[in-house]
Amino acid sequence: MASSNQEKIFSKEWFYAYALIIFGSFLYAVGDVMFVNPYLLAPGGTYGLANVFNTLWPWKISYYAICMDIPLLLIGTLILGPKFGRKTVISTVLIFVFVFILESTWGYAPVIHDGLIPDAAEGELGFIPDYFLNTLIAGLIYGVAIGLIFKSGATSGGSDIISMILNKYTKISLGTLVMIVDSAITLTTFVAFHQVRLPIYSILLIAIESKIIDLVIEGVKSYKTLFIITDKEEEIREAIINDIKRGGTCFSGIGLYAGQERKMIYTTVSRTEMIRLKTHIYHIDPNAFINIIDSNEIMGQGFKQLTGE
């Protein structure tokens, strides 16, 4: 995740971080106003509660949310630092502005539905809901939005601040923490509207969102790190260098069972390269021991350029 301490004003990193905040905040507003609120969902956060309050006691979503965000911002800034707080303040203000604009212009009409029908009770057009497709799209939009904001070094405010604070002191991923913190908020939909499907769809939305957040922050696990223990390290070394066109490191170690010295090769390759390398190893040394590990992010020569993010 980007560190605000290493961003010089108007530098490439600075523009990149704030571009993520702006675009992520806009996507968050789109997801909330056009997909979440029309279906009475509450996928956590202050905007989840604001959606419930907006339906029970009509007042703008943005007004409810900002009233909850301000005290949480103060707590977050105190614990996570003033520079972190500045980014989160900007994100919170942008989300407030975008949500206000969308609910003032677009209203609370759904984007996804199976048709419009007259609502006799309200004297307006209602809609035939498509809960599953709407939940799927809303989860994707929310996940990308919050992932981009997190990646910039900020949060979207609200309960995300709680998740970031917990992440600072634990090894639990941000996506998992968002899911834990926000799942409790989904239950307010059942209390308010007495429909079991609403918290179920809200939790499904959070599950999709959490996976997308981790994907945006950590990237696709497209690389594999291999630890190869073999007696034919020279032949495997030649295969890695000449055929796979990758590098690696060779270690010497002592086996615990027999106490014999063995050679271990450490290398990182792509998925397709791993398949080719496994074939080579099978033909060179069928008795080799291989440990394959997913690698989220690889930096250095031959991979992604090393940065301060």
Number of domains comprising the chain: 2
User: Residue 281: pLDDT above 60?
Assistant: yes
For residue 256, the enclosing domain spans 223-295
CATH of the domain at 241: 3.30.70.120
End-to-end CA gap in the chain: 6
Distance CA 183, CA 75 (A): 21
Give the tokens for residue 88: 């989160």
- 84 pLDDT tier (thresholds 50, 70, 90): low
Q: What is the pLDDT of residue 210?
A: 84
Residue 138 one-letter amino acid: A
pLDDT value at residue 82: 67
Q: Mean pLDDT highest for which of 78-82, 85-89, 110-114, 256-260?
A: 110-114
Please indicate, yes or no, whether residues 94 and 70 belong to a single structural domain of this protein: yes
What pLDDT score does 301 carry? 65
Range with the poorest average pLDDT among 18-27, 44-53, 103-112, 299-308: 299-308
Cite the DSSP H helix spans in the chain: 12-30, 45-56, 61-80, 82-105, 131-151, 159-169, 174-193, 197-218, 233-238, 271-284
Residue 308 placed within a domain = no
Partner residues linked to 295 by β-bridges: 223
Report d(CA 197, CA 203) in Å as an integer.
10
The CA distances from residue 38 to 106, 197, 210, in Å, are: 12, 14, 22
pLDDT tens per residue, range 197-245: 999 999 999 889 888 988 888 777 678 899 999 888 899 999 999 988 8
Last residue of a domain, one of 179, 197, 218: 218
For residue 124, what are the β-bridge partners?
119
pLDDT of res. 4: 40
Compare 222 and 267 and report the one with higher pLDDT.
Answer: 267
Q: How confident is the model at residue 308 (pLDDT cuts 50, 70, 90)?
A: low
CA 115 to chain centre: 32
Q: CB neighbours of 139 closer than 8 A, spacing ≥ 6?
A: 43, 204, 205, 206, 207, 208, 209, 212
CA 260 to chain CA centroid, nearest Å: 45
Shared domain for 227 and 191, answered yes or no, is no
In this structure, are 184 and 270 located in the same domain? no
Q: Say if residue 30's pLDDT is above 90.
A: yes
Q: Indicate the residue among 218, 238, 262 that finishes a domain.
A: 218
In the chain, pLDDT over 90 holds for what percent of residues? 39
Least confident of 4-18, 44-58, 294-308: 294-308
230 and 209 belong to one structural domain: no
